[in-house]
Amino acid sequence: MKVAAVDYGQRRIGIAISDDLGMFAHPAGAVEAGGLEKQAALVAARLKELGAGRVLVGLPKNMDGTEGPSAKDARAFAEKLRVACGGEVRLVDERLSTVEASRRMREGGVSAKKQREKGRIDAGAAVVILQGHLDVASPPGEA
Protein backbone atom coordinates (compact mmCIF):
# COMPACT_ATOMS: atom_id res chain seq x y z
CA MET A 1 0.00 0.00 0.00
CA LYS A 2 1.25 3.45 -0.90
CA VAL A 3 1.64 5.94 1.93
CA ALA A 4 1.50 9.70 1.39
CA ALA A 5 2.74 12.58 3.53
CA VAL A 6 1.52 16.14 3.52
CA ASP A 7 3.47 19.16 4.76
CA TYR A 8 0.78 21.72 5.56
CA GLY A 9 1.79 25.36 5.24
CA GLN A 10 0.11 28.74 5.05
CA ARG A 11 1.25 29.31 1.45
CA ARG A 12 1.64 25.81 0.02
CA ILE A 13 1.00 22.21 0.94
CA GLY A 14 3.76 19.81 -0.05
CA ILE A 15 2.94 16.22 -0.98
CA ALA A 16 5.09 13.08 -1.07
CA ILE A 17 4.21 9.49 -1.95
CA SER A 18 5.91 6.18 -1.27
CA ASP A 19 6.70 3.53 -3.81
CA ASP A 20 4.49 0.43 -3.94
CA LEU A 21 6.71 -1.41 -1.46
CA GLY A 22 6.63 1.40 1.08
CA MET A 23 10.40 1.79 1.12
CA PHE A 24 11.14 5.11 -0.58
CA ALA A 25 9.48 8.54 -0.51
CA HIS A 26 9.19 10.64 -3.66
CA PRO A 27 8.07 14.26 -4.08
CA ALA A 28 4.61 14.62 -5.63
CA GLY A 29 4.29 18.38 -5.97
CA ALA A 30 2.57 21.06 -3.98
CA VAL A 31 -0.86 22.65 -3.79
CA GLU A 32 -1.32 26.38 -3.34
CA ALA A 33 -3.05 27.36 -0.10
CA GLY A 34 -6.47 29.00 -0.07
CA GLY A 35 -9.14 28.03 2.44
CA LEU A 36 -9.27 24.74 4.36
CA GLU A 37 -12.17 23.20 2.43
CA LYS A 38 -10.59 23.95 -0.95
CA GLN A 39 -7.13 22.83 0.21
CA ALA A 40 -8.47 19.56 1.58
CA ALA A 41 -10.41 18.86 -1.63
CA LEU A 42 -7.39 19.60 -3.85
CA VAL A 43 -5.03 17.50 -1.73
CA ALA A 44 -7.56 14.64 -1.49
CA ALA A 45 -7.92 14.62 -5.28
CA ARG A 46 -4.14 14.53 -5.72
CA LEU A 47 -3.79 11.71 -3.17
CA LYS A 48 -6.46 9.72 -5.01
CA GLU A 49 -4.55 10.21 -8.30
CA LEU A 50 -1.42 8.92 -6.59
CA GLY A 51 -3.19 5.88 -5.14
CA ALA A 52 -2.42 6.69 -1.50
CA GLY A 53 -3.90 4.20 0.96
CA ARG A 54 -2.71 5.97 4.09
CA VAL A 55 -2.01 9.66 4.68
CA LEU A 56 0.32 11.34 7.15
CA VAL A 57 0.02 15.04 7.93
CA GLY A 58 3.01 16.76 9.47
CA LEU A 59 2.34 18.25 12.89
CA PRO A 60 4.73 21.15 13.53
CA LYS A 61 5.79 21.00 17.15
CA ASN A 62 8.09 23.35 18.99
CA MET A 63 11.50 21.99 19.93
CA ASP A 64 10.28 21.42 23.50
CA GLY A 65 7.40 19.28 22.19
CA THR A 66 4.65 21.83 22.77
CA GLU A 67 2.24 22.87 20.05
CA GLY A 68 1.76 26.40 18.78
CA PRO A 69 -0.58 28.07 16.29
CA SER A 70 0.87 26.20 13.31
CA ALA A 71 0.07 22.88 14.97
CA LYS A 72 -3.51 24.02 15.51
CA ASP A 73 -3.77 24.87 11.80
CA ALA A 74 -2.30 21.50 10.80
CA ARG A 75 -4.78 19.68 13.06
CA ALA A 76 -7.70 21.57 11.49
CA PHE A 77 -6.42 20.76 8.00
CA ALA A 78 -5.92 17.08 8.89
CA GLU A 79 -9.53 16.85 10.05
CA LYS A 80 -10.82 18.42 6.82
CA LEU A 81 -8.58 16.09 4.82
CA ARG A 82 -9.85 13.07 6.77
CA VAL A 83 -13.40 14.00 5.74
CA ALA A 84 -12.41 14.74 2.11
CA CYS A 85 -10.43 11.49 1.77
CA GLY A 86 -12.83 9.31 3.70
CA GLY A 87 -9.85 7.33 4.96
CA GLU A 88 -7.06 7.15 7.46
CA VAL A 89 -5.22 10.40 8.13
CA ARG A 90 -2.62 10.47 10.90
CA LEU A 91 -0.69 13.35 12.40
CA VAL A 92 3.07 12.84 12.76
CA ASP A 93 5.79 15.00 14.30
CA GLU A 94 7.49 17.05 11.61
CA ARG A 95 10.02 19.05 13.60
CA LEU A 96 12.74 20.49 11.36
CA SER A 97 11.48 18.75 8.20
CA THR A 98 11.78 21.92 6.11
CA VAL A 99 15.26 22.61 7.49
CA GLU A 100 16.33 19.05 6.62
CA ALA A 101 14.78 19.26 3.14
CA SER A 102 16.59 22.54 2.47
CA ARG A 103 19.89 21.08 3.66
CA ARG A 104 19.50 18.05 1.39
CA MET A 105 18.64 20.24 -1.59
CA ARG A 106 21.61 22.54 -0.96
CA GLU A 107 23.87 19.49 -0.81
CA GLY A 108 22.38 18.43 -4.15
CA GLY A 109 23.24 21.79 -5.67
CA VAL A 110 19.78 23.38 -5.58
CA SER A 111 19.93 27.07 -4.69
CA ALA A 112 17.62 28.65 -2.12
CA LYS A 113 15.85 30.49 -4.95
CA LYS A 114 15.23 27.26 -6.88
CA GLN A 115 14.01 25.55 -3.70
CA ARG A 116 11.16 28.06 -3.43
CA GLU A 117 10.06 27.60 -7.04
CA LYS A 118 6.96 25.49 -7.70
CA GLY A 119 6.78 24.31 -4.10
CA ARG A 120 9.97 22.22 -4.31
CA ILE A 121 10.86 22.82 -0.68
CA ASP A 122 7.30 22.02 0.43
CA ALA A 123 7.30 18.69 -1.43
CA GLY A 124 10.84 18.10 -0.11
CA ALA A 125 9.66 18.59 3.47
CA ALA A 126 6.85 16.08 2.81
CA VAL A 127 9.49 13.63 1.56
CA VAL A 128 11.46 14.07 4.81
CA ILE A 129 8.28 13.44 6.86
CA LEU A 130 7.36 10.36 4.84
CA GLN A 131 10.83 8.85 4.64
CA GLY A 132 11.18 9.21 8.42
CA HIS A 133 7.96 7.27 8.83
CA LEU A 134 8.93 4.61 6.30
CA ASP A 135 12.33 4.11 7.91
CA VAL A 136 10.78 3.18 11.27
CA ALA A 137 7.59 1.52 9.98
CA SER A 138 6.98 -2.16 9.59
CA PRO A 139 8.94 -4.32 7.13
CA PRO A 140 8.87 -3.47 3.41
CA GLY A 141 5.47 -3.95 1.84
CA GLU A 142 3.68 -3.42 5.17
CA ALA A 143 4.23 0.35 5.61
Q: 115-137: per-residue pLDDT in tens? A: 666 678 888 889 989 998 898 87
DSSP code per residue over 19-48: -TTS--EEEEEEEE---HHHHHHHHHHHHH
Contact between residue 123 and residue 15 where contact means Cβ atoms under 8 Å apart: yes
Q: Which CATH superfamily is domain 2-136 in?
A: YqgF/RNase H-like domain (3.30.420.140)
Given this model, what pLDDT does residue 138 score?
59
Dihedral sign of CA atoms 104, 109, 111, 115 in order: negative
**Directed axis angle between helix 120-136 and helix 97-107, to 10°?**
110
Helices (H), 7-119: 36-50, 69-85, 97-107, 112-116
Domain ranges (residues) in the chain: 2-136
Digit-coded pLDDT (tens) for 75-115? 999 999 999 998 889 999 887 677 677 777 778 887 767 76
